[in-house]
């Protein structure tokens, strides 16, 4: 199997542990475009601790985010993962309204997305969960780390996901080549005779009959069926004409080769006759020698292993179907619903598709409460300086006592609480500032990566500085001390309008700014000073 | 047990066992990120058939603490 290209993964909860480290991840719920990434995955799920009503609201949020992502990344191949539909364990939903909303999302919403956007593909996560037998969520890891899937499933998930992604790029197959004896029926027609072969109403003939019936369904869906069998052609034709239990015959076969030639040559000649490439063929034969030969001489042809037991034929059929012939299909009924849905969508939800980032961000109703660090927050701020490694300009660690000392010495400590219409993130930003007569020093500025991607980090710093510099026009100094973990904050000071003045030998970068050069916050951020 | 724990750590951090520092902890080994920490905990739980409490998980950030909680 080809190895997976790095994906850019849009996510709303912690999912890094489910993927190999070569992939890139958005911030939590961050929908900024990722134009450099040609392969993207949208992996949004619902918060299982929410009430059904809250989850339905979350679905609406996810819809608007996905529409936005697709609007902005027209050049990329975007794989959207379905929402998990928990019908088995029941802790989440015996709630019909929520189940309907999830189904509506998975079938109608995603269905209309793929019918309108050629670059969008669907990956159905429910096919993964169906085959797992441990609990799908571990609440310890959910409540401590926002992991929405039990980390013990991570290994299985990685394998499954890689297969799904490579399946997206895989060319769908067009044609099945079938052997006859012990494949389409039990026994050998040349020896057992037209009515002696096992095909029909009791075991094991029933297994072969079911297999044939499923194959016939596949041919009605447009898959080409052919036969390649080492037999006397008369014997096989006699089965076709006289054994009524046999339903795979020349009425549904597009080509057949019944002779004693080697099967590789036969398949090649059928490919020419049907005018389709060898890479569109799947070869099904119970005989490992024949399979080996085809694999050896026609490596483009897919050659799945054949089941040992005839009662496994139905499973085998569906495996073939999933691996080579399944597409995310919509029935006519679904399409009709999709149409209705689209009309409703245009009527009532015109605001859901956003033209640009500003429109989207303003719809979020972001509110930033800025606290001039009172005693009640000192503990939280100290803790944040101890634990924050990624978005942290200087990675200076402080205890509570040290922070009180900073205040005593005339410094200022701020923190900020961030919320939007979907929820409250709590205190996620902290800053420590020192000043003298003419200057202000940004000693520390750090925040939780959860809030990145909405310019909140910039707005908060600007608004804190606004409040700090009311009385006089001081110059502002800041620095970035690189560590192995804080690359995410590397460009931040430049982005908010600071100018690099010096890079020290140890890598520390010194910056300065005047208030008027700083980034201007858009008016749709509601900022409260508390 | 210590050997087994180190072996698991080496697997999670994708290094050889002999590249792990003496008395390894989250401070002296920078690949020990918060995400890797949880992967490590999951692997330890599977190997030693344990289920740690969240409070324990947040304290298990050194080889000695890990061994202490596994032995509990």
Q: Please judge whether B39 and A141 are an interchain contact, meaning their C-beta atoms are less than 8 angstroms apart.
A: no
pLDDT for A97: 84
pLDDT for A2: 46
- Exposed, middle or buried, A54 (CB in 10 Å: 0-12/13-18/19+)? middle
Using DSSP's 3-state secondary structure scheme, residue A415 falls into: strand
Contact A76, A40 (CB under 8 A): yes
Q: Please judge whether A17 and B35 are an interchain contact, meaning their C-beta atoms are less than 8 angstroms apart.
A: yes
The residues near A517 (Cβ < 8 Å, ≥ 6 apart) are: A497, A499
Q: Closest to A152 (Cβ–Cβ): which among B42, B52, B57? A: B42
Q: How far apart are CA A294 and CA A230, in angstroms?
A: 14
Average pLDDT, chain A: 86
Q: Is the pLDDT of residue A147 over 50?
A: yes
The residues near A287 (Cβ < 8 Å, ≥ 6 apart) are: A179, A182
- Exposed, middle or buried, B18 (CB in 10 Å: 0-12/13-18/19+)? exposed
pLDDT for A338: 41
Q: Please judge whether A141 and B46 are an interchain contact, meaning their C-beta atoms are less than 8 angstroms apart.
A: no
Q: What is the pLDDT of residues A471-496, one digit of tens each?
A: 557 889 999 999 888 888 999 999 99
Q: How far apart are CA A377 and CA A341, in angstroms?
A: 48
pLDDT for A351: 41
When pLDDT is cut at 50, 70 and 90, the band that residue B70 belongs to is very high
* H/E element, A248: none
Q: What is the pLDDT of residues A346-378, one digit of tens each?
A: 444 434 456 677 887 888 889 999 998 777 788
Nearest CA in chain B to A16: B35
Two structure tokens written together for A51: 């009430």
When pLDDT is cut at 50, 70 and 90, the band that residue A207 belongs to is very high
Closest approach of A152 to chain B, Cα-based (Å): 6
Q: Please judge whether B54 and A16 are an interchain contact, meaning their C-beta atoms are less than 8 angstroms apart.
A: no
pLDDT for A448: 86
β-sheet with A499-503: strand ranges across: A499-503, A509-513, A475-480, A439-447, A423-435, A412-420, A367-372, A526-529
Q: Is the pLDDT of residue A151 over 70?
A: yes
CATH classification code of A175-325: 3.40.50.1000
Q: What is the pLDDT of residues A283-304, one digit of tens each?
A: 999 999 899 999 999 999 999 9
pLDDT for A333: 45
pLDDT for A327: 60
CA nearest neighbour of A14 among A143, A125, A121: A143
A503/B contact by beta carbon, under 8 A: no
**Cis amide leading into A265 (omega within 30):** no
Q: What is the pLDDT of residues A82-129, one digit of tens each?
A: 999 875 455 544 678 888 899 899 989 998 888 888 889 899 898 888
When pLDDT is cut at 50, 70 and 90, the band that residue A336 belongs to is very low
Mean pLDDT computed over B34-46: 91
Percentage of chain A surpassing pLDDT 70? Answer: 91
Closest approach of A139 to chain B, Cα-based (Å): 10
Q: What is the pLDDT of residues A499-512, one digit of tens each?
A: 999 999 999 999 99
A141/B contact by beta carbon, under 8 A: yes
Domain boundaries, chain B: 2-71
β-sheet with A8-11: strand ranges across: A24-28, A8-11, A39-43, A77-81, A120-123
Q: Please judge whether A145 and B38 are an interchain contact, meaning their C-beta atoms are less than 8 angstroms apart.
A: yes
Closest approach of B2 to chain A, Cα-based (Å): 22
Which CATH superfamily is A8-169 part of?
SGNH hydrolase (3.40.50.1110)
Q: Which of A297-306, A328-337, A391-400, A450-459 has the lowest mean pLDDT?
A: A328-337
Residues in chain A: 530
Nearest CA in chain B to A15: B35
Nearest CA in chain A to B26: A387
A336/B contact by beta carbon, under 8 A: no
Q: What is the pLDDT of residues A87-97, one digit of tens each?
A: 545 554 467 88
More confident: A273 or A323: A273
Closest approach of A132 to chain B, Cα-based (Å): 16
Options 3.40.50.300, 3.40.630.30, 3.40.640.10, 3.10.129.10; which CATH number does A364-529 get?
Answer: 3.40.630.30
The residues near A306 (Cβ < 8 Å, ≥ 6 apart) are: A183, A284, A285, A286, A288, A291, A316
Options 1.20.1530.20, 1.25.10.10, 1.10.10.10, 1.10.1200.10; which CATH number does B2-71 get?
Answer: 1.10.1200.10
Residues in chain B: 72
Q: Please judge whether B35 and A141 are an interchain contact, meaning their C-beta atoms are less than 8 angstroms apart.
A: no
Give whole-number Cα distances, A32 to A10, A192, A247, A361, in Å. 9, 67, 55, 10
pLDDT for A372: 87
Contact A215, A317 (CB under 8 A): yes
Q: How far apart are CA A421 and CA A365, in angstroms?
A: 6
pLDDT for A348: 40
Q: Please judge whether A484 and B30 are an interchain contact, meaning their C-beta atoms are less than 8 angstroms apart.
A: yes
Q: Is the dihedral of CA A201, A206, A209, A213 positive or negative?
A: positive
What letter does residue A434 receive in the DSSP assignment? E
A484/B contact by beta carbon, under 8 A: yes
A155/B contact by beta carbon, under 8 A: no
Q: Please judge whether A151 and B30 are an interchain contact, meaning their C-beta atoms are less than 8 angstroms apart.
A: no
Domain boundaries, chain A: 8-169, 175-325, 364-529
When pLDDT is cut at 50, 70 and 90, the band that residue A335 belongs to is very low
pLDDT for A94: 63
């Amino acid at each position: 199997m080809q190895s997976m290209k790095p994906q850019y993964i849009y996510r709303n909860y912690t999912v890094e542990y489910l993927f190999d480290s070569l992939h890139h991840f958005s911030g939590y719920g961050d929908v900024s475009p990722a134009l450099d990434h040609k392969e993207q995955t949208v992996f949004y799920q619902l918060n299982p601790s929410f009430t059904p009503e809250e989850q339905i609201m979350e679905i609406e949020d996810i819809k608007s985010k996905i529409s936005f992502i697709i609007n902005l990344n027209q050049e990329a191949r975007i794989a959207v993962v379905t929402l998990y539909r928990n019908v088995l364990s029941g802790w989440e939903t015996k709630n019909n309204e929520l189940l309907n909303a999830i189904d509506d999302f998975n079938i109608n919403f995603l269905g209309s997305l793929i019918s309108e956007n050629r670059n969008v593909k669907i990956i159905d996560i429910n096919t993964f969960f169906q085959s797992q037998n441990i609990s799908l969520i571990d609440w310890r890891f959910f409540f401590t780390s926002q992991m929405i899937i039990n980390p013990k499933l991570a290994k299985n998930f990685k394998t499954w996901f890689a297969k799904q992604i490579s399946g997206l790029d895989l060319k769908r197959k067009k044609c099945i080549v079938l052997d006859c004896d012990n494949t389409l029926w039990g026994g050998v027609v040349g020896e057992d005779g037209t009515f002696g072969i096992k095909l029909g109403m009791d075991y094991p003939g029933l297994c072969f009959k079911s297999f044939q019936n499923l194959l016939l369904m596949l041919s009605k869906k447009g898959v080409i069926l052919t036969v390649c069998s080492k037999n006397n052609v008369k014997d096989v034709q006699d089965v076709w004409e006289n054994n009524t239990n046999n339903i795979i015959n020349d009425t549904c076969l597009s080509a057949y080769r019944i002779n004693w030639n080697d099967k590789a040559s036969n398949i090649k000649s059928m490919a020419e006759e049907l005018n389709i490439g060898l890479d569109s063929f799947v070869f099904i034969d119970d005989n490992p020698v024949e399979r080996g030969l085809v694999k050896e001489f026609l490596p483009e042809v897919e050659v799945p292993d054949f089941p040992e037991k005839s009662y496994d034929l139905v499973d085998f059929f569906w495996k073939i179907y999933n691996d080579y012939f399944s597409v995310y299909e919509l029935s006519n009924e679904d399409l009709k619903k999709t149409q209705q849905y689209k009309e409703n969508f245009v009527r009532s939800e015109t605001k859901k598709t956003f033209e640009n980032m500003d429109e989207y961000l303003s719809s979020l109703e972001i509110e930033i409460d800025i606290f001039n660090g009172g005693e009640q927050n000192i503990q939280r701020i100290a803790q944040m300086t101890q634990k924050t490694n990624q978005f942290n300009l200087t990675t200076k660690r402080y205890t509570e006592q040290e922070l009180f000392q900073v205040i005593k010495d005339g410094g200022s400590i701020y923190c900020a609480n961030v919320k939007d219409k979907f929820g409250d993130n709590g205190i996620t930003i902290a800053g420590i500032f020192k000043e003298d007569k003419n200057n202000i020093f940004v000693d520390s500025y750090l925040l939780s990566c959860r809030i990145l991607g909405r310019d909140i980090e910039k707005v908060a710093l600007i608004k804190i500085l606004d409040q700090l510099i009311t009385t006089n026009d001081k110059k502002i100094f800041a620095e970035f001390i690189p560590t192995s973990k804080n690359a995410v904050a590397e460009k931040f000071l430049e982005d908010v309008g600071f100018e690099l003045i010096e890079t020290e030998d140890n890598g520390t970068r010194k910056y300065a700014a005047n208030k008027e050069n700083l980034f201007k916050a858009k008016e749709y951020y509601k900022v409260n000073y508390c | 047990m210590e050997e087994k724990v180190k072996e698991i750590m080496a697997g999670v951090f994708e290094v050889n066992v002999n590249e792990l520092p003496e008395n390894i902890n989250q401070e002296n080994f920078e690949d020990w990120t918060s995400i890797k920490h949880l992967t490590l905990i999951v692997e330890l739980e599977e190997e030693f058939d344990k289920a740690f409490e969240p409070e324990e998980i947040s304290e298990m950030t050194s080889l000695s603490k890990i061994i202490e909680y596994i032995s509990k």
